[in-house]
């Protein structure tokens, strides 16, 4: 009998994840519960987004609108 390794889990997310996580980390930075160094490390997730997740497409206008709105309306999880 031949055993194969367990499959690697596949994580699906949308492009809005970048906006949501950046907003969450920005809020923590503004509140003083996150250092600027930690903020820089946490928001440098280009590699993870590119190689570890399957990204669902979102219209660019949706992403642009969400980014603009985040400046006026901080998101909360």
Most confident of 22-26, 43-47, 67-71: 22-26
Residues sharing a CB contact under 8 Å with residue 10, sequence separation 6 or more, in sequence order? 54
Q: Mean pLDDT over all residues of the chain?
A: 83
Is the pLDDT score of 10 beyond 80?
Answer: yes
Is the pLDDT score of 38 beyond 90?
Answer: yes
Is the pLDDT score of 63 beyond 90?
Answer: no
Distances (CA, A) of 63 to 10, 13, 42, 69: 23, 14, 20, 10
pTM higher than 0.75:
no
pLDDT at 76: 63
Residue 32 — left, alpha, or beta (φ > 0 → left; ψ -120 to 50 → alpha)?
left
Confidence tier at 68 by pLDDT (50, 70, 90): confident
């Amino acid at each position: 009998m031949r055993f194969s390794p367990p499959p690697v889990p596949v994580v699906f997310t949308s492009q809005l994840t970048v906006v949501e996580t950046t907003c969450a980390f920005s809020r923590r930075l503004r509140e003083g519960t996150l250092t600027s160094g930690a903020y820089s490390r946490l928001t440098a997730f280009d590699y993870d987004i590119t190689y570890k997740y399957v990204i669902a497409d979102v219209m660019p206008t949706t992403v642009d609108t969400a980014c603009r709105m985040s400046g006026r309306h901080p998101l909360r999880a």
